[in-house]
Amino acid sequence: MDLRQLRYFIALTEYRSFVRAAEAMGITQPAFSRAIQNLEQTLGCILVDRGHKALLPTPEGQVVLQHARRLVQGAAQLNNDVLQMTKLDAGELHFGSGPSLAVRLVPEALRHFIERHPGIRTALQVDNAERLGQALRREQIEFFVDDIRPFEADPNFHTEPLSPRPGLFFCRPGHPLLAKDSLSTNDLFAYPLACALLAPGVRKRLANLSGRSDFTPHLQTEHLAVLRNVVLGSNAIGSASEEAVAEDLASGRLVRLHWRNLPPGLEVLSVRCGVISRSGYRLSPAARAMIDILVSLDEQPVPAGEAHRQSPPRHNPGVPRRTARGS
């Protein structure tokens, strides 16, 4: 048994297909199948139910999968830690970000990180919180930054708050709503709504506000560029974090909408940001260094146009960093 076989088995449980898993691992399907068979022979048990279309792991396969993920991640962690023991001049960093923070904070942090640690190869996954959580569970990333509320009560995750990002509604210049002296929430539901994926609690509040049994926006997407272009080219009303559309608001390309009777409960449209990592797992020196930069930049926010002139204070990765702040 070797790590290569364990990686193949992990891929098989994720792709649920010998052909797709072999393609993902860059080998032929016969060679992939032989590696799985050899692993089963070594362990003396069947790992997947080949009679089931989804190739579900057997009870023994579930146990092997848990250990395989820990061993593969541990080997990668060991390699990274050895490479990063001294000057953080080699190794890899895999982390994720929600779309809102990928507009300013994360790119700015990456710029500082690359300047300080040019030998570290960095991979960033931008996605919604659900998929980032899955990637974290699968140990594909070390941490991600996004709304921490879905993860605070889960003992498998550790959360560290950052500054919240308030949400807002906006439209294109020349929108019919801008001709009105005052806007009510009835006006909000008179036009299509385009926004990021909504949590069930947010949908319920919007449904109550609209007088409907349920509410589903006309467009839900995590791609801010798509959302922005739809709003610019139609009468749709957009909703996003203020930071995500700050430059468009400042330039007049988008216009913020104010509602006279919007209830306080819709604060849930805001993003309560933070760093999410796995409980009980030690982060690599590169991950700790990146988080320190993110926290430093978050504590000293600057306008996007002036960010390039600012630099966060340096932090020695060997010195313990505080792990929680008040929200």
pLDDT in tens, 203-241: 777 887 777 887 888 998 888 889 999 999 999 999 888
For range 177-196, the mean pLDDT: 88
Q: What residues contact residue 206 under an 8 Å CB cut-off, 6+ apart?
A: 198, 215, 266
- Domain extent, residue 288, equals 87-157+279-309
For the chain, the domain total comes to 3
Q: What span, in angstroms and rounded, lies between the C-alpha atoms of 181 and 204?
A: 29
* pLDDT at residue 312 is higher than 50: no
Please indicate, yes or no, if residue 314 is contained in any of the structural domains: no
Average pLDDT, the chain: 83
Domain match, 62 and 91 both: no
Spell out the residues 6+ positions from residue 296 whose beta carbon is closer than 8 angstroms to its own: 312, 313, 315
Residues 109-125: tens digit of each pLDDT: 999 999 999 989 999 99
**Residue 152 CB partners (closer than 8 Å, separation 6+):** 159
| CATH number of the domain to which 42 belongs | 1.10.10.10
Cβ atoms within 10 Å of 151's Cβ, excluding its own: 20
Measured distance CA(80)–CA(69) in Å, rounded: 16
pTM above 0.85, yes or no: no
Residue 80: inside a domain, yes or no?
no
Same domain, 207 and 173: yes
Strand partners, 170: 238, 256
pLDDT surpasses 80 at 263: no
Judge if 30 and 108 occupy the same domain: no
In a domain, 326, yes or no: no
The pLDDT, as a whole number, for residue 322 is 40
Read off the pLDDT band of 4 (50, 70, 90): confident
**Beta carbons of 170 and 231 less than 8 angstroms apart:** yes
Question: Residue 295 — very low, low, confident or very high, per pLDDT cuts 50/70/90?
Answer: very high
* CB distance 203 to 178 below 8 Å: no
Least confident of 55-69, 127-141, 189-203: 189-203
Q: Which residues pair with 165 in a beta bridge?
A: 271
